[in-house]
Structure 1
Amino acid sequence: MKIDYREFRDLVPVTRKYKYLNHAAISPTPLPVIMESFSFMYDVSDEGTIAVNYAERDDLNYIREPVSRLINSRVEEVSLVPNTSYGINMILHGIGLKEGDQILTDSSEFPAITSASFKLLKKGIKVKIAEVTPETFEDDIVSNLNDNVRLVAISSTSFLTGVTPDLSKVSKEAKSNNSLLLVDGIQTVGAGKIDVEENRIDFLVAGGYKWMMSPQGSGFMFVRKGLLEDPPWYGWRADSTYEEFSPYKFAPDKGPRRFEIGTYPMVSLIGMKKAAEIIYENSYMIYSRVKELSKVAIDCLKDKGMDVLTPEDKRTGIVTVKVRDPKKVVEELYKKYKIVVSPRGSGIRISTHFYNTEEEVNEACEYISTLEKELQY
């Protein structure tokens, strides 16, 4: 499905009501994705298990395949998960960390990684949080490596500052330190290129409801072949002979289904399949367009003398600008101008997808600057 970003706006109903610049929170579901999911739901209404059994054909490889193309992996390395936290927990609790081992993460990290890590403290595993800045992110991570760091766990794009680090640089140093690399890719996949081979990523997890424009309940987990062959938890669907429904034996599947422990959220996953196909077929346009719009935001905000936290040379779709009262400014933007953004930390996060317009971005920056001045007095 080849698309023009101007025409695609008509397939996203939210654009008729709002200037929606909040894709780092959740993307509005486009009509082609909704219709793909609805078609399955209708089939289930019309045919019951016959439709479900058909949708679960081919061990769901027809869903894994478009996702694997997006990240340049093998189909058999992609497991289907309901959210990012599910996958992160599978990895952290499955790689065999022992007392004295360390997980290295960073101070700008979304709690999906840190929250799952703290459960391991009871086993004597340390969570080491590197203090980072957007400009020196990679060096800040690398300088905290030591012999006890078994896993480096970072985001491909920071939800807080918008920095998109050089994953290849971090991975190279992690490998030299005999550390594995886990990447939370939810703020990049769908908005920018992420290549598990080029970046030498060991684990990548992403929910589909942000930049992939998929329904909530969709997501995927990439596990490099040869790693985490025995998952930390078992479920009936992960059994290699699950169709026998035997209570007397269990043997984990050798493929990606070993992590898929229960009934699938098929409505969401079928929507994600359609979204992944759209993104892949239009990836060059989408990725370049996202970067163009984030630069428009940075340039506009800087022209107005505002303090932009996101480095221009390390960005994807998120731009964070400091303001005195983020929540108040965000409320006023919505109430007065129907502009939807998010408060994050000490600033406002603008997150534009490819179908946004330059006019929307410039208007948001103009009003942010105006409100910041008004609220100072």
Structure 2
Amino acid sequence: MDNLRKGFPVLEQYTYLNTATSGLLPEKVWEFRQDHDLDFLLQASLLKERQGEILTGVRETVGSFFGCAPNRVALVPNFSYGFNTLLEGLEKPKKALLLKNDYPSINWAVESRNYDVSYAEIDEHLEENIAEALRKEEPDFFAFSIVQYINGIKLNINFLKNLKEEFPEVVFVADGTQYCGTEVFDFDHSGIDVLISSTYKWLNAGYGNGFILFNKNVQPKILTKAIGFNSLQGKYKAQEGNFIGKFEPGHQDTLNYGSLKTALDLISSTGLEKVETQINSLKARAKEQFMELELLEDAVAARKEHSSIFNIKGDDKLYRHLRSRGIITSQRGNGIRVSFHYFNTEEELGILIKELKKFRS
């Protein structure tokens, strides 16, 4: 277990249960960033001449990690940039299906455009609600978070795959920001058409980097008009009709995208299967103890499958009490959000439970 915590100095100071807000910066990513900027300081344009080579390596690492060919991987600074660029490429007007009270960067972006929008409820029957809404509303695209940011309700990946078989013409657009890096994931066999993710949370890659994965059949439905010099440069662009280049106009940041590659390499060296096993163990134990203390909303308690994000009952006084004890959480919705990553331990869960009981006594 100590090996899983190595290289994360924050863990020496705090009980950090807040990856759902911000992941940690690993020492290896910090070291890469120092080396990169030293190279830029000493080499200037000589380093930038290697931009294509560097970004090709990032693209190939992302593709290998998530099961997507590198010629269908676009590198973007964050989810919102990628999603808004995607929406501008969809022919309008369109019928859209969203999840009610999903992450604002999804819903606000769709609602601010000229779409006919309908919603599915997020509760213990989430999958049934989505299937019913698709049959009733017949949308052109369905945009959603795989994991809900407030309470951690997680969509079943096999459900999405089966759903796509029932609705092959609907474009499925997923936000993977609260999901990618928590379990083994094969994009090409997921049923998702487009997955967009920021990587500063569960992938611990820092800010300013993200990616988009495209299903090979979805490209004709996306007519993105953005273009810049870098749109035509790179190994996977010109021969692919410049599709992914439309999401990468201008000069790209090799510091931030290189950070993403370093972070993915770190998880791969640890073993994503090992990461998934540790997270599954922690979230199962956490849910059990939270339910014993009656801290979870009914919708979360009733679901068999859940993420490692929980929203527990508590107010500002409890939040401040936990912070005073060095337990880092966040306030979301009507409660306190706690989240467990692979570097967390059952001992840290025990520290949280102890303070929750102490506060209530």
TM more than 0.5 = yes
Aligned twin of 1:193: 184
User: Cα deviation per residue 1:96-120 (whole Å; 9 max; x = unaligned)?
Assistant: 232xx31111124111110110222
User: Aligned pair in 2 of structure 1 residues 285, 251: CA closer, same or farther (>3 Å)?
Assistant: closer
1:136 aligned residue (119, 125, 129):
125
Alignment of 1:342-357 (within 5 A): 342-357=330-345
- The count of aligned residue pairs is 352
User: Aligned pair in 2 of structure 1 residues 237, 291: CA closer, same or farther (>3 Å)?
Assistant: farther
Please give the TM-score of this superposition, normalised by the length of structure 2: 0.90
User: Cα deviation per residue 1:136-163 (whole Å; 9 max; x = unaligned)?
Assistant: 1111111111464011111111111211
Partners of 2:233 and 2:287 in 1: how far apart?
Answer: 54
1:292 aligned residue (281, 294, 297):
281
| Conserved? CA contact 1:79–1:220, under 8 Å | yes
SS of corresponding position for 2:98: strand
| Conserved? CA contact 2:171–2:218, under 8 Å | no
Aligned twin of 1:340: 328
Q: Are residues 1:84 and 2:72 paired? A: no
Aligned twin of 1:127: 117
Alignment of 1:304-323 (within 5 A): 304-308=293-297, 310-311=300-301, 313-323=304-314
Partners of 1:107 and 1:328 in 2: how far apart?
Answer: 29
User: Cα deviation per residue 1:195-215 (whole Å; 9 max; x = unaligned)?
Assistant: 212211100001010000011
| Conserved? CA contact 1:69–1:280, under 8 Å | no
SS of corresponding position for 2:172: strand
Q: Are residues 1:6 and 2:24 paired? A: no
Gapped regions of structure 2 (runs ≥ 5): none
Aligned twin of 1:247: none
Aligned twin of 1:49: 45
Aligned twin of 1:180: 171
Q: Are residues 1:223 and 2:194 paired? A: no
Please give the TM-score of this superposition, normalised by the length of structure 1: 0.87
| Conserved? CA contact 1:238–1:257, under 8 Å | yes
Aligned twin of 2:57: 62
RMSD: 2.3
Gapped regions of structure 1 (runs ≥ 5): 243-249
Query: Could you tell me which amino acid in structure 1 is paired with residue 202 of structure 2?
Result: W
User: Aligned pair in 2 of structure 1 residues 365, 43: CA closer, same or farther (>3 Å)?
Assistant: same
Alignment of 1:203-242 (within 5 A): 203-228=194-219, 231-240=223-232
| Conserved? CA contact 1:104–1:152, under 8 Å | yes
Partners of 2:122 and 2:74 in 1: how far apart?
Answer: 31
Report the identity percentage.
23
Partners of 2:228 and 2:54 in 1: how far apart?
Answer: 14
SS of corresponding position for 1:23: coil
| Conserved? CA contact 1:238–1:259, under 8 Å | no
Partners of 1:85 and 1:41 in 2: how far apart?
Answer: 26
SS of corresponding position for 1:310: helix
Q: Are residues 1:162 and 2:161 paired? A: no
Aligned twin of 1:364: 352
| Structure 1 residue ranges (4+ consecutive) displaced by more than 4 angstroms after TM superposition | 250-253
| Conserved? CA contact 1:103–1:152, under 8 Å | yes
| Conserved? CA contact 2:67–2:188, under 8 Å | yes
Query: Could you tell me which amino acid in structure 2 is paired with residue 272 of structure 1?
Result: L
User: Aligned pair in 2 of structure 1 residues 365, 93: CA closer, same or farther (>3 Å)?
Assistant: farther
User: Aligned pair in 2 of structure 1 residues 59, 256: CA closer, same or farther (>3 Å)?
Assistant: farther
Q: Are residues 1:283 and 2:272 paired? A: yes
Q: CA deviation at 1:231?
A: 4.4
SS of corresponding position for 2:23: coil
Aligned twin of 1:246: none
Q: CA deviation at 1:170?
A: 3.3
